[in-house]
Chains A and B, each alone.
Chain A
Amino acid sequence: MPGFGAWTWVFYIFLYLPLVILVVFSFNAGRSATVWSGFSLDWYARAFGNESIQRATVNSLIVAFSAMTAATVLALLAALALMRGRRFRGGTVFRVTLLAPLMIPEIVTAVATLTFFSALGMQLGLFNVFIAHTVFCIPFAYLPIAARLSNLDESLECAARDLYAGAWRAFRRVTLPLAMPGIAAGAMLAFIISLDDFVITLMVADAGSTTLPVYIFGMVRMGTSPEINAVSTALLAVTTVIIVFHYYLSNSAKNRP
């Protein structure tokens, strides 16, 4: 179609120009987040030296790693039941519940979870955040694992069973290694979804368990600064690295069934 190629350029420029601006001004020497006055890494030094940012980063990492682990384990078990087990009553309801956090607006899940914790009087700091994150990380971990399992030839597993491998051995030596790219992909997605979450954490986290995105929001509320640009760029860089890695992992897994 004529013009679509040119439009695609505009599309990509629109998608990336704001990000480029953010990154460029994180290296600004001056105090302004949008008026260029020379290159410097000062704001990165300041951001990394800022104790509140350090604490928020540690919180983010603790939550992201633990939510990733819990979500991936739960999602793997669920995927095995849905993709490999016998059909069971309530299977569809189970699957829909598993995927529901994807489609329900985050703010709704956020206030529901907040209300739940408050009704129970559950004030366990980061543990509350971990629970809330695990819920919405499950579908992101589940989808790549389920996709991988549904692409796998079951005859390999049948052959293993045929050759007198017990159910556990067949799982441990055949299914699990074959499902590994899906599991890794799911874990990566769960990790960045947790690391980047803002809305749910804002509502659920108490003052002591602020994560990095919540801290950034607080800073933005007070005004822009190259320091915010620096932290945001760092967060963006982590996501980008994981996604690029994930992309190549899932593509190579597709080519080598």
Chain B
Amino acid sequence: MKRLFNFNLPPLLSVGPAALFLTVFFIAPFAIIAVYSLMEADPFGGVRRAFSADAYIQFLFTRDWDGNLQFDLSYLNIFWRSFALAAGATVLCLAAAFPAAYYIATQPRRRRGLLLLLITVPFWANLLVRTYCWVLILRDSGLVNGWLIAFDLISTPLPLMYTDGAILVGLTYTYLPFMALPIYASLEKTDWRLIEASRDLYAGHRQTLARVVFPLARPGVIAGCIMVFIPSLGAFIAPSLLGGGRNLMIGSLIQLQFSSSRNWPFGAASALILLAFVLLLLYLWRRRSGRDGRDDGESIW
């Protein structure tokens, strides 16, 4: 659109501050970890200034006592576990949120506002606190075990905490609002006569859902899946509170390298590999939503 008047704030004044700030404190840090990932680890933390590709080699191989490289799957396994858990959480969130989002979209305006607010509050609420709630529920002396023992259904507490199941529940619970809001946003504008028409033309509920509702909701479903999958893949809080020390995910693996393991190059390399996956995913999504001719990534705000 051509404008009659421009706010000719000098670009240095409008774009300048944010551009400078982000270049120094956001882009430069990524450049630095890229460099660090190619250096030697200093056992006291940080790096030695010497080139080394060990951090990347370490993903697939371990060095035995003779210095020979041996194929080692343990880090790949952590990546695989993280993908599986993130995918599981995404599927569970989708299954739980889709019917709710659909139902909310069919409600009268005022009621919709309240129902949405009830999703928005947990959307913004503290992730750590929301995960901690599940510690209260799942731990050995927690609510579930407490009740089961009180009703004499079991005598020793079930090991619910520090399992993959616990991580999965935690991820699903914390990211559920991130799935519900985008789906709702794409269903909100639905022309409900389409659904009536489909029913009129003798489509059953299931058929209407699969052939009419779901295609209408697709941009929201994809946006929701991305918004659940990406933070789940890099999750740190859920695996460290609910998974304990043994059930690692990528996020906790990275954090460990910068704290107790003191292998900064390996941590940097893991972070970059995770980042590469995420950027690839976002790129594919972007291309897709460009084809759909809409941008649902921001509609929830």
Q: Check B254 against A111 for contact (C-beta < 8 Å).
A: yes
| Distance between Cα atoms of A41 and B254 in the complex (Å) | 40
Chain B residues with Cβ below 8 Å from A18 are 130, 133-134, 136-137, 173
> Within the complex, which residue of B15, B29, B126, B231 is in contact with A196, where a contact is CB–CB below 8 Å?
B126
* Chain A positions 202 through 246: 1 when the CB is less than 8 Å from some CB of chain B, otherwise 0: 110000000001001100100010001100100110011001100
Contacts of B103 in A (CB 8 A): 1, 4-5, 7-8
| CB–CB B177/A15 < 8 A | yes
| Segment of B2-10, B54-62, B66-74 in the binding face | B2-10
Report which of B4, B143, B271, B298 forms a contact with A143, defined as CB distance below 8 A.
B298
Asked if A113 and B46 make an inter-chain contact with CB atoms under 8 angstroms apart, the answer reads no
A15 touching B230, Cβ below 8 Å: no
Shortest Cβ distance from residue B21 to the other chain A in the assembled complex, whole angstroms: 6
CB distance from B240 to the nearest CB of A (A): 8
Q: Which residues on the B side are within 8 Å of A129 (C-beta)?
A: none
Report how far A77 CA is from B275 CA in the complex, Å: 29
What sequence of 0s and 1s flags, for each residue 238-271 of chain B, a beta carbon within 8 Å of any chain A beta carbon?
0001000000001100110010000010011001
User: B29, B33, B128, B176: which contacts A198 (Cβ < 8 A)?
Assistant: B128
Contact string against B for A residues 168-193, beta-carbon threshold 8 Å, 1 for contact and 0 otherwise = 00110001000000000000010011
> How many inter-chain contacts with C-beta < 8 Å in the A-B complex?
267
**Contact of B14 with A78 in the complex, beta carbons under 8 Å:** yes
> When each residue 1-40 of chain A gets 1 if its CB lies under 8 Å from chain B and 0 otherwise, what string results?
1111101100110111011011001000000111100000
CB-CB under 8 A from A2, the residues of chain B are 205
Knowing A106-B236, A251-B113, say if A235 contacts B119 (CB, 8 Å). no
**Are B146 and A77 in contact, CB atoms less than 8 angstroms apart?**
no
Query: Closest residue of chain B to A228, judged by CB?
Result: B132
Considering only residues 154-179 of chain A, those with a C-beta below 8 Å from chain B are: 154, 157-158, 161, 167, 170-171, 175
* Bound CA span A80–B30, Å: 27
Q: Chain B's nearest CB lies how many Å from the CB of A149?
A: 11
Contact B271 A19 (CB under 8 A): no
Interface size on B, residues (CB 8 A): 90
Within 8 Å CB of B96, what residues of A?
11, 14
Main secondary structure of the interface of B (DSSP, over half): helix
Total chain A interface residues with beta-carbon distance under 8 A: 93
Indicate if B18 sits at the interface (CB-CB under 8 A). yes
Decide yes or no whether B154 CB sits under 8 A from chain A: no
Contacts of B22 in A (CB 8 A): 97-98, 135, 138
> Which residues of the partner chain B approach A11 to less than 8 Å between Cβ atoms?
96-97, 99-100, 176, 180
Q: From B206, which residue of chain A is reached at the shortest CB distance? A: A1
List the B side residues contacting A144 at CB < 8 Å: 301
- Contact flags (1/0) for A62-82 with B, using CB distance below 8 Å? 000000000001110110110
B8 A114 Cβ-Cβ under 8 A: no
Q: How far is the CA of A21 from the CA of B255 in the complex (A)?
A: 30
Given A147-B301, A240-B125, A100-B26 contact (CB < 8 Å): yes
User: Which residue of B117, B122, B146 contacts A15 across the interface (Cβ within 8 Å)?
Assistant: B122
**Contact between chains at B205 and A15 (CB < 8 Å):** no
On chain B, the residues within 8 Å of A118 by CB distance are 46
B171 sits at the interface (CB 8 A): no
What DSSP secondary structure best describes chain A's contact surface? helix
Residues of A within 8 A of B115 (CB): 8
Asked if B197 lies at the interface with its beta carbon under 8 angstroms from chain A, I say no
Is residue A85 contacting chain B, with contact meaning CB distance below 8 A?
A: yes
Please state if A81 and B32 are interface contacts (CB–CB under 8 Å): no
Q: Is the CB of B129 within 8 A of A135?
A: no
B237 at the interface (CB under 8 A from A): yes
CB A162 to nearest CB in B, in angstroms, measures: 8
Query: Of A78, A106, A247, which is within 8 A of B117 by CB?
Result: A247
Q: Determine the chain A residues whose CB is within 8 A of the CB of B255 once the complex forms.
A: 107, 110-111, 202-203
Q: Are B14 and A105 in contact (CB under 8 A)?
A: no
Question: Is A84's beta carbon under 8 Å from chain B?
Answer: yes
Residue B209 at the A interface, CB < 8 A? yes
- Any A CB within 8 A of the CB of B19: yes
Instruction: Apart from A108-B274, A116-B29, A224-B135, list 7 A-B contacts with CB within 8 A.
Output: A11-B97, A105-B234, A105-B274, A107-B251, A154-B3, A158-B5, A224-B136
Residues of B within 8 A of A (CB): 3-9, 11, 13-15, 17-19, 21-22, 25-30, 32-33, 36, 46, 96-97, 99-100, 102-104, 113, 115, 117-122, 124-130, 132-137, 139, 141-143, 146, 173, 176-177, 180, 205, 208-209, 213, 230-231, 233-237, 241, 250-251, 254-255, 258, 264, 267-268, 271, 274-275, 278, 282, 298, 301
* A-B residue pairs, 10 tightest by C-beta: A105-B234, A18-B133, A116-B29, A81-B14, A112-B29, A11-B100, A74-B18, A196-B126, A232-B129, A4-B99
Q: Could you pull out 12 A-B pairs where Cβ atoms are within 8 angstroms?
A: A15-B176, A18-B133, A77-B9, A94-B15, A108-B254, A109-B26, A115-B33, A119-B32, A134-B21, A135-B26, A216-B128, A232-B126
